[in-house]
Amino acid sequence: MKTDHDIKLGVSLYSYQDNYYFKKHDLEGCIAAVAGSGAEGFEIFPESMIPEWPYISDRFIDWFNGIKIRYNLECVCVDHFSDTRMWKNRNLTDDELFERSVLYIKAAAKLGASAIRLLHEEHLGSVNFFNRDYHLVNAEIAERLLPVCAEYNVMMALECHAPTTIDDPCHEPYLEAAERLGLPFVGLQADFSSYEYCVSSADIGMYTRRGGTAELLNFFRDSQREAYFNGRPFVYDDIEPTIEKMKPNEVDRQFLAFHTRRRSSMPASYDVLRDYASKLVYIHGKFYDIDETGQVDNIDYPKVMQALVDGGYKGYICSEFEGNRRMNDAGWCDEIEYVRKHQELMRKCLGR
Amino acid sequence: MYDKHILTDEGCRSVWENGKKVGYAVNLTINYYRGLPLCCVDQISLEVDGQPVDPNTMYLQHQGREYHYPDIFTDDFPTDFYWLFGEKLRVVVRQDGGIDQGRHHVRLTLGTRRSYTPTMIDVCEKVLTFA
């Protein structure tokens, strides 16, 4: 359902990946689920739900345009990937990475989407998290893509994903290139992963089923929550002696290694989010689980959404449900119901 | 993610030609949240009833095409032939006599190379009934 609100709500079809993978719904079914949730737009991963990718036919486009009319939805964003390692014998060259990226820009234009989510070099921060010996689309390649974006009128949304934040200096070179060339076709995309104040219960469940100690994992999470609700950073050193007394097993150690990469943590600043809101071009409303009160169980949605309203954000927030991959080892994960509740929560935060 | 589901229980059977069993087939789904070019598959290893399957006897069938498994590792393998998300990749093992009808223990190791993370290797073991 289309509205004239400044902040529009959409759904990333990523949220319904199990429904598609296990063939409960085809692409049209997933799009119908978006419409049913009350959203007015959707984001699509072409390699997941467009079997013809990377060469999309006019016939598909005609069908797709019909679907958008039938469900009164718009296609908001196409997810771009940097398949640098797609060949076995060598990495893609920068020219090849550029060409592959052009495919996504053209696809977005064909699908009627005004943005691509750019999988860029700093997606996971300036730290070389996976010890990569290759790069993704970096600021130089993005600069070469700007004239292509201008030709097709497609924005590159720089996903600012945890551990980065929207004000991380690693995004500056991209924005400077756009400024220098006078081609405003790259902009910041907030991802709510930057605003997580504790581990989600979806993670606790997954690690517990793998053999982790529920008592220890919940103690860790409760300590994070206590710190957040008392307005202080979570400092792992404060609870490490207690954790060690609980004798972590191997699975607990894996959990702790991942979640204590930063010894001290707190969600990114809501004030900065407010100050940047009017400059953001797109947002991923990430979530993993929703508690019995209807709140996302590790992100303070009322505060995040208020910051966006106060800062004058204009654009889409797409639900991005990532609980599926943390829950589906235990059985069917009802993605459609999670997204419905998430849309309801966001509407409530916006006073609708 | 999908590690428990990558070895499906669909279409497990002997493959017949001219009234004789010449092999058997299993069907796999991808261990990732999107489809990948087939050249991004780093490893498909099968063990049936504890015996490793010779990779040279394996053929991959998808979207109306068939590739000898070792061929997907060649440098000039087509890069835009995708293993579609959620779609079955049929693995045919050529083996005279096929497989005995009934239940067999199958162990799959699947490695796929991603664009921005290290190769993900998943193992899935199931007892499957072959027709």
Which of B39, B87, B116 is opposite residue A123, by nearest beta carbon?
B116
Average pLDDT for residues B83-108, to the nearest whole number?
98
Q: Which chain A residues touch B82 with a CB distance below 8 Å? A: 47, 51, 53
The structure tokens listed for A270 are 């809501």
CB B27 within 8 A of CB B52: no
pLDDT tens by residue, A292-312: 999 999 999 999 999 999 999
Please, what sign has the CA dihedral across residues B62, B65, B71, B77?
negative
Q: Do B33 and A51 touch (CB under 8 A)?
A: no
DSSP SS3 for B85: coil
B116 contact residues in A (CB cutoff 8 A): 81-82, 84, 119, 123-124, 130, 132, 136
A108, exposed or middle or buried, with CB in 10 Å at 0-12, 13-18, 19+? buried
Question: A20, A85, A117, A161: best mutation site toward chain B, by most B Cβ within 10 Å?
Answer: A85
Q: pLDDT tens-digit profile of B79-91?
A: 788 999 999 999 9
Instruction: Note whether A266 and A226 are within 8 A (CB).
Output: no
The span from the CA of A194 to the CA of B57, in Å, is: 48
CB A234 within 8 A of CB A243: no
Instruction: Decide if B6 touches A, using CB distance below 8 A.
Output: no
Burial category of B109 from C-beta neighbours within 10 Å (exposed 0-12, middle 13-18, buried 19 and up): middle
Partner residues linked to B124 by β-bridges: B108
Q: What is the residue extent of each domain of chain B?
A: 13-130
The interface predicted TM-score of the complex, written ipTM, equals 0.93
- Rounded to whole angstroms, the Cα distance separating A283 from A297 reads 19
Peptide linkage before A163 cis (omega within 30 of 0): yes
Chain A hits for B29, Cβ within 8 Å: 21
Q: Do A329 and B117 touch (CB under 8 A)?
A: no
Question: According to the model, what pLDDT value does residue A126 have?
Answer: 62
Of B45, B23, B13, B14, nearest to B125 by C-alpha is: B45
Amino acid type, A183:
L
Contact A18, A336 (CB under 8 A): no
Tell me which chain B residue has its CA closest to the CA of residue A54: B80
Give which of A330, A331, A285, A274 is closest to A307, Cα–Cα.
A274
Per-residue pLDDT of chain A (352 residues), as tens digits, is 788 999 999 999 999 999 999 999 999 999 999 999 999 999 999 999 999 998 999 999 999 999 999 999 999 999 999 999 888 888 999 999 999 999 999 999 999 999 999 999 988 776 666 677 888 999 999 999 999 999 999 999 999 998 899 999 999 999 999 999 999 999 999 999 999 999 999 999 999 999 999 999 999 999 999 999 999 999 999 999 999 999 999 999 999 999 998 888 899 999 999 999 999 999 999 999 999 999 999 999 999 999 999 999 999 999 999 999 999 989 999 999 999 999 999 999 999 9
Residues of B in contact with A47 (CB under 8 A): 34-36, 82, 85
Structural domains in chain A plus CATH codes = 7-196+267-349 (3.20.20.150), 201-264 (no CATH)
Contact B34 A22 (CB under 8 A): no
Chain A residues within 8 Å of chain B (Cβ atoms)? 14, 17, 20-23, 45, 47-49, 51, 53-55, 81-89, 119, 123-124, 130, 132, 136, 325, 328-329
Mean pLDDT lowest among A111-120, B35-44, B74-83: B74-83
